[in-house]
Amino acid sequence: MRAVGSSIQRSDAVDKVTGRAAYAGDIDLPGQAWLAIVYAPSPHAHITRIDTAAALAAAGVLAVLTAADVPVNEYGLILPDQPVLCGPGSTVQAETVRWEADHLALVVAETAEQAQAAAKLVQVEYTALPVITDPLAALAPDATVIHPHPFSAFPYGQRDNTSNLLLEYHLRRSDVDEGFAQADVIVESTYRTHAQEHAYLQPEAGLAFVREDGRIEVIAAGQWMHEDRAQIAHTLGLPAERIVVRYPAIGGAFGGREDLSVQIVLALAAWKTGRPVKIVWSREESIRGHHKRHPFVIHAKWGATKAGKIIAAQMDVTSDAGAYAYTSTKVLGNATLMCLGPYEIPNVHVDARTVYTNNCPSGAFRGFGAPQGHFAAEGQMNKLAEALGMDPVELRMRNVIHDGSILATRSAVPAGCTAEEVLAEAARRGGWKKNGIGYWVLGSETDAAPLRNTQYPISIARGVGIALCFKNVGFSLGFPEACHAWVELHGTSAIERALVGCVGAEVGQGAHSAFAQIAAEALGLDVAQVEVVAHDTDVTGSSGSASASRMTFMAGNAILGAAQQALAQWQDEERPARADFVFHPRPTSGYDRKTGESDPNITYGYCAQVADVEVDMATGHVKVKRLISVNDVGRAVNPAQVEGQIEGAVAQSVGWTLLENFIQKDGRTLTPHLSNYLIPGVADVVEEIVPVILEVPDPQGPLGIRGMAEMPFIPTAPAIAAAIHNALGVWYNELPLTPEKVWRGLSANPFPQE
């Protein structure tokens, strides 16, 4: 049996199913104390005084830490704009709270109950500041500036400290006005997408302690060990080598663990008290306390010729960064390009910006700007098709990118582009076919007028919709991508056992099983002979993050490189034979700040989906009957896990499209529980998900493998919106498509009655 291509049982399956796997909350250390966090009294305020005396005097309390106790009171994945603890005593920046979940103080006590009770005794005096919740209002010249102080580092040149603008990008290709002048049809819309909570099974939790060797070890789930370590070390003012980050079993991430949550405060508390310290966030703390998918407002104006060629696209893109940057600048970078969809467009004008507000910070979440961008791009394609009287598949076929197509960045699409292949396969499976003259049309069985059951007063309208996407694999725009791995071969005459060192995070996606399968394939071993070593930052160098659909792609290349070199050493009679390898993919470049000219991405993955929906026209309730998801994964390392990724992505994207509604008012979260933030149950997702795997090799991928984890999230919302339009004749440009919203759209656009 070949190791790659087999749906073998994943290595962590039995432990996770039996409960033996230890998540951070399951781990206890001898002599451990507990940590509780004192949160901001208001979403935007100047903190004038924090009185910890009563808390310090409370039963069981070991320490109460404030801003003055943080050696370097700033952190952030991309830029250090967030204080570890807010309040007087460190920097000017730290004197202000900007988010309801900003931390004011840490209480360390013998028990969790004592810590939580004492946290309530911390007295805070503050002056409230205006709370800014709308990113467009935040850009008004007289708006209160949320970050008026310079940051110690800002990787995008000079920042304007007098504005809430965090970053803007521009794409310019040819002349968009000239393009519109040549257009036969022009469609214009404003699209709005909403925040989304990751809702992973395991809320944030962790432990930290000072080891016998004097180093501080932090045990907490994350997505990128070495980056966690760097941020922790920065705040403590220690060299990175003084910190060890260990990943226990991780209960889902989806981008939500890309930024830090409990790691720094645990390390600080353990360091200051000398005791092992533990914290387990409640679900409410988790929902209030970690970032969300970015809300976007995208104004789109696209033009096409009668021949079905997109001739011009003008986009104005605004995302709500929330109180701190997190990965907002990176998400903006992706959205700036992906709001154009996987199409050749000769005239382009994109203005994109991300803006600070006092909302929950926005950050990484499966798709990373691509779902928001494609909701606009694919909406525009469907509307142009309607305006032209052309089938939406046919219109896409006439504009879709291929190898070497020039993007709006004036750079070529990397080899291995299969946008057309995934679209054609999805169309065929969804009921489209080519007619006598070679044009794509929806087949007769589904292209009849929407079926309506008019039995009073129940009336169901049916519709079908299609959407296509592309998404970068790996970090974009000049970020120095790399992944470390080593392979060690044991045995005498034959290789009996292989160890693979690679610390890419196993967040539940099956990465470690995939690493073992790729190594076994390269070494000609059975998977059972391969052991993955991945527990902490001492194992090897950085693997980069388990994000951007990159982990299997990057680690696979690194493991293949190490395996090849280890095999050579084995031939040279080295026992054990061991080789270290660092994989560097081809370099990319950042946007030119005026024109956006760049070679933005290493490579892309492609997915197309067809949604069949039923809409109850009386209540507005939308039911997705079938969702076909066609994904080119290059080569499926483990087909069952690939299908699992597709089904998981669809559950999450159907939730985002129809159900999930993260609501904040005046900077306060109104949906901090899973009883009012509604994620889909199994009966609410889709009656039938049809995962379709294509295997067209990516020339840069290890064994042809492509990244695939985010792609099946991206086309769902526009496919469902297209299906609802097909059913009702109404365009919906604002997510989520709740029953009430669908009903309001219907009331405003009454369906023609029989």
Partner 1 sequence: MKPAAFDYFAPKNIEEALALLGEHGYDAKPLAGGQSLVPTMNFRLAQPTVLVDLNGIDELFFIRESGDGLRIGAMTRQRAVERSPLVQRRAPLIHETMPHIAHPQIRNRGTFGGSLAHADPASELPALAVTLDARLRVQSSRGERWVAARDFYLDLFATDMQPDELLVEIAIPDLPARTGWAFDEVARRHGDYAMAGAAATVTLAEDGTIAAARLVYLSVGDFPTQAVQAEALLTGEQPTAALIRAAAETAAAQDIDPGSDIHASADYRRHLAKVLAGRVLARAVERAKMTADDRR
Distance, CA of 276 to CA of 270 (rounded, Å):
6
Cβ-contact 355, 139 below 8 angstroms: yes
* Residue number, 113 or 178, with CB nearest to partner 1: 113
* Residue number, 152 or 747, with CB nearest to partner 1: 747
* Residue number, 178 or 687, with CB nearest to partner 1: 687
Continuous segment of H or E residues that includes residue 52: none
CB of 677 to partner 1, least distance (A): 9
Buried b (16+ CB within 10 A) or exposed e, 257-268: bbbbbbbbbbbb
Strands 495-501 and 530-533: parallel
CB of 680 to partner 1, least distance (A): 7
The C-alpha angle with vertex 363 and arms to 357 and 367, in degrees rounded to 5, equals: 130
39 Rama class: left (phi>0) / alpha (psi -120 to 50) / beta? beta
CB of 625 to partner 1, least distance (A): 15
Cβ-contact 318, 296 below 8 angstroms: yes
Task: List the alpha helices (DSSP H) in 141-223.
Answer: 176-182
Long-range contacts of 15-19 (CB under 8 A, 24+ apart): 15/249, 16/249
* Residue number, 400 or 651, with CB nearest to partner 1: 651
Cβ-contact 601, 524 below 8 angstroms: no
Q: What is the DSSP letter of 292?
A: B
* Residue number, 397 or 720, with CB nearest to partner 1: 720
Q: CB burial class (10 A; 0-12, 13-18, 19+) of residue 50?
A: buried
Q: Footprint of partner 1 on this chain (CB under 8 A)? A: 282, 456-458, 618-619, 621, 659, 661, 663, 670-671, 676, 678, 680-681, 683-684, 738-740, 743-744
CB of 451 to partner 1, least distance (A): 19
- Cα–chain-centroid distance for residue 675? 24
* Residue number, 149 or 623, with CB nearest to partner 1: 623
* Residue number, 139 or 679, with CB nearest to partner 1: 679
CB of 670 to partner 1, least distance (A): 6
Q: What is the DSSP letter of 324?
A: S
Strands 347-356 and 495-501: unpaired
CB of 679 to partner 1, least distance (A): 9
Give the pair of three-digit tokens for residue 630. 């066609």
* Residue number, 370 or 654, with CB nearest to partner 1: 654
CB of 739 to partner 1, least distance (A): 7
* Residue number, 409 or 671, with CB nearest to partner 1: 671
CB of 621 to partner 1, least distance (A): 7
Give the pair of three-digit tokens for residue 475. 């970090």
* Residue number, 70 or 107, with CB nearest to partner 1: 107
The C-alpha angle with vertex 265 and arms to 261 and 267, in degrees rounded to 5, equals: 115
CB of 617 to partner 1, least distance (A): 10
CB of 666 to partner 1, least distance (A): 14
Strands 577-583 and 483-491: antiparallel
CB of 743 to partner 1, least distance (A): 6
Tally of CB atoms within 10 A around 56: 15
Q: Find the length of the chain.
A: 754
Cβ-contact 173, 312 below 8 angstroms: no
* Residue number, 156 or 751, with CB nearest to partner 1: 751
CB of 663 to partner 1, least distance (A): 6
* Residue number, 149 or 621, with CB nearest to partner 1: 621
Q: Give the SS3 label for residue 542.
A: coil
CB of 690 to partner 1, least distance (A): 21
* Residue number, 53 or 663, with CB nearest to partner 1: 663
**Cis (ω within 30 of 0) for the bond into 736?**
yes
Give the pair of three-digit tokens for residue 310. 């997109």
**Cis (ω within 30 of 0) for the bond into 672?**
no
* Residue number, 278 or 353, with CB nearest to partner 1: 278
Residues whose CB falls within 8 Å of the CB of residue 71, separated by 6 or more in sequence, listed in order: 235, 236, 237
CB of 113 to partner 1, least distance (A): 9
* Residue number, 495 or 613, with CB nearest to partner 1: 613
* Residue number, 731 or 743, with CB nearest to partner 1: 743
Q: CB burial class (10 A; 0-12, 13-18, 19+) of residue 101?
A: buried
Give the pair of three-digit tokens for residue 121. 């005794």
CB of 55 to partner 1, least distance (A): 20
Q: Give the SS3 label for residue 368.
A: coil
* Residue number, 215 or 623, with CB nearest to partner 1: 623
CB of 457 to partner 1, least distance (A): 4
CB of 658 to partner 1, least distance (A): 9
For the chain, helix, strand, coil in percent to 5 are 30, 25, 45
Q: Give the SS3 label for residue 72.
A: coil
Closest CA to 361 of 97, 95, 661: 97
Distance, CA of 530 to CA of 489 (rounded, Å):
9
Cβ-contact 630, 163 below 8 angstroms: no
DSSP letters, 565-585, are HHHHHHHTT-SSEEEEEEE--
Residues whose CB falls within 8 Å of the CB of residue 5, separated by 6 or more in sequence, listed in order: 635, 636, 637, 639
Cβ-contact 596, 169 below 8 angstroms: yes
